[in-house]
Structures are given as structure tokens and as C-alpha cells.
Structure 1
Amino acid sequence: MELEEMQILWTRMSSQLEEQKELTNKLIMEMTQQKFRNRFNKLTIIETSGAVVCFIIAIVILLNIAKMNTWYLMACSIFTILLLIVLPILTLRAIKGMRTMDVTRRSYKETLQEFTRKRKNMLLIQRVGVMISVFMMWVSLPVFSMIMNNKDFFAQEHDPWLWVFIAVVTMGVILFARYGYRGYKKVTSSAENVLRDLKDH
């Protein structure tokens, strides 16, 4: 084989190897993108279901708004409705922001910066949600008392055991909210690990 033929063959092989490398890198990036999105699938399903429940409760309160015959019951109703609508929307938007992140278009550093910013936003919403969920439970008590019993919660005497029950439920809400927050941290840490695999590509 002459030198010129060897050079042509070598050039062709180098070109094929380069194409193969680019194809492999593209496949790795696409797989990473899919793995990254999959990390948020369970959260999306859970939060979408939760949002539907919240919207149904908000509609129930809205349909019974005429029963709220004092300014404080009306204020509690409006506040509860707003929270039941706004919090799920903010949460779903934060999750969507994560899921739709394109990890293939930017550099590793830019992708990690965007992820860090979005993760902070998502976890902040969850922290606020933990605090507000307890407050919302207390605010919604008089609303549902009026809807279900047609009685003003503030204008009646209550059995001491009711306060014990409310305290237990409050603790349950706090523990459940904290559990949910830890779940978010776990999911975002797992997604970050997926992104760190991009460092070598």
C-alpha cells in the first residue's frame, strides 16, 4: 500500500471515528436528558393530583361563600381559596421549570447554574408551603364548620377534646409537610447527580 493510499485510509477512518464519537456523545446527552426528566415524573403526578384536590376544595368553598355571614368568615374563605389555588400553581410551575430544562444545549457550567437557581426556587416554595399549610388548616376550620354544620366556629363553645384533636392534626400536617420537603430534596439531589455525569462529556 502506497503512502498516499494510507493517508486517504487514515483520514477516512479518523472521520468515521469522529462521527462515531459525536453520535455516542449525542446519545449520552439524550439519555441524560431523559434520566433528568424522569426524576421529576413522580413529583409531577403527586402534585398534579394534589392540585386537583385543592381546586375541588376551592370550588366547594366558592359555592358555599354565601354562607359566610361575617367579615371574618368571609376573610377566612377568600384567604383559603387563594392559597388552595396559588400554592399548587406555583409548585407545578417550579416542577415544570425543572422538567423542561434542556441539559443538552448549554455548557455544563451554565446548566448547573440554571439547575441551582431553579432548585433554590423550588425548595423555597416548599419551605413556604410547609409554614402556610399549618396556617391554612387553622384558617379553613371555621370555613368548613360553617359549610358542614352551618355554625360559626368562633361563636360556640368547644369540647376540650376538639382542641386535642386539632393539635394532633396540626402535628400530622407539619410532619407530612416535612416529609414532602425531604422528598423534594432527595429528588433534586438525584437530578443533580445526573447532571454531574455530564461533566466528562
Structure 2
Amino acid sequence: MELEELRATWSEMSQELEKQKKLTNEIILKMTQDRYRKKFSKLRNLETVGAMICYLWVVFFLFNFGKLDTWYLQICGVLTIGFLIILPTLVLKSLKKIQNLDILNGSYKKNLVIYIKEKNRLLKLQQMGIYLSYLLLFILVPVSTKIISNKNIFLTSFKPLQVIALVVALIFMFFFTRWGYKSYKKITNSAEDILRDLDS
């Protein structure tokens, strides 16, 4: 009789331990999911603010598009508007996709493959944005100048102060874009480490 009671107690304890282990694993996964998502929340908030600023500029350029009275200023205007709509939208979509990776479902290997694919896409978008931002500077200046001060800079000669301002802007952009890209790499590598820790 005692042996039967001992077996029943042992079986009950084993089931309890299994439930505890399963519950602990679920809690760890949920905590990992939260830590993973928080890695991208600040980045996503910054990109959302940046995108809103870009969209406001688009509205400004659309309302004033009629002031662009030559074909080449209109092309610059269209390119500027396209850039300010497309790139921020693509970055936000990519960030949403990478942030919402569902760690709780799917295998570790599958999640890691999806993450690396999305990480590479996000970093390529950032690289593309860096290169295109230099082009944007050269098409944004003529458009803004025409809309704000009604001057066509293609028909005027540059003053020394304007050349200095352009060089300073390029230097600032160089360091700012480098810093931004390094921050993206740091955050995405840190998030990848969180995922890799699940396998250990």
C-alpha cells in the first residue's frame, strides 16, 4: 500500500515539476520577447517622428509646387517628394516587421533566419538612405530656395558663404549618417544576441 502511495505521490510531483518547467519556459520567452521588442521601440519612435517631419515637408512642397516654374525644378520637386515619402515609409515598415517577430511561436532556427533576413533588409535600407540623402541635399536646396525666396539657384552664382554652408552641411551629414548607421548596427546586433541566447 505504501509503495502505491509513493508511486502516486512521485507521479504527481513529476507532473507538477513538468508544469512548473513549462510555465518557467513561457515566462522566460515572454520576458525575452519584451526585451527584444524594447530594443527597437526607441528606434521606431525616432523614425516615426522623422517620418512625420518628412510627410509635413511633403505637404509643404505639394502646396507650393506651382512655384516651381521650370521643368528641372519640377523634376527636383518630384524627386524630393518621392524620397520624403518612400524611404521613411519603407524604413517604418521594415522596423515594424523586425520588431514584431513572434518569438513565442515558431522554432528558434526559423525565428533567427527571419530575423537575419529582416535585419539585412533594414541595414540595406539605411545604407541606401545614406547615399540618397546626399543626392537629396542637392535637389532639396534648389526646390526650397525657389519656394521660400523665389530664387532659381541654377541661374545665380554661388557666394562664398553659400559654398561654406554647403561644405559644412556635407561634413555634418557624413558624421551624422555614420553615427546613425552605427547605432542601427549596435541595436540590431544586440537584438540578435537576445535571440541567440534562447539557444543556450
Query: Is it true that 1:121 corresponds to 2:124 in the alignment?
Result: no
Q: Which amino acid letter does the alignment assign opposite residue 142 of structure 2?
A: P
Matches of 2:108 and 2:61, distance apart in 1? 47
Measure how far apart 1:61 and its partner are: 0.8
Q: Which residue of 1 aligns with 2:101?
A: 101
Q: Which residue of 1 aligns with 2:154?
A: 154
Q: Which residue of 2 aligns with 1:5?
A: 5
Q: Which residue of 2 aligns with 1:33?
A: 33
TM-score w.r.t. length of structure 2 = 0.98
Q: Which residue of 2 aligns with 1:20?
A: 20
Q: Write the mapping of 1:62-73 to structure 2, written as runs, cut at 5 A.
A: 62-73=62-73
- Post-superposition CA distance 1:34-65 (Å, at most 9, x none): 11000001001100000011011111111110
Matches of 1:177 and 1:92, distance apart in 2? 17
Matches of 2:183 and 2:37, distance apart in 1? 16
Unaligned ranges ≥5, structure 2: none
Q: Which amino acid letter does the alignment assign opposite residue 176 of structure 2?
A: F
Q: Which residue of 2 aligns with 1:193?
A: 193
Q: Which amino acid letter does the alignment assign opposite residue 111 of structure 1?
A: N
- Post-superposition CA distance 1:11-35 (Å, at most 9, x none): 0000000000000000000010111
Matches of 2:36 and 2:94, distance apart in 1? 15
Report the secondary structure of 1:39's partner residue.
Answer: helix
Matches of 1:158 and 1:4, distance apart in 2? 97
Matches of 2:174 and 2:73, distance apart in 1? 24
Query: Is it true that 1:77 corresponds to 2:73 in the alignment?
Result: no
Percent identical among aligned pairs is 38
Matches of 2:8 and 2:86, distance apart in 1? 65
Q: Which residue of 2 aligns with 1:50?
A: 50
Q: Which amino acid letter does the alignment assign opposite residue 93 of structure 1?
A: K
Measure how far apart 1:112 and its partner are: 0.8
Measure how far apart 1:161 and its partner are: 2.5
Q: Which amino acid letter does the alignment assign opposite residue 28 of structure 1?
A: I
Measure how far apart 1:88 and its partner are: 0.5
Measure how far apart 1:157 and its partner are: 1.7
Q: Which residue of 1 aligns with 2:112?
A: 112
TM-score w.r.t. length of structure 1 = 0.97
Matches of 1:184 and 1:91, distance apart in 2? 12
Matches of 2:103 and 2:174, distance apart in 1? 35
Q: Which residue of 1 aligns with 2:181?
A: 181
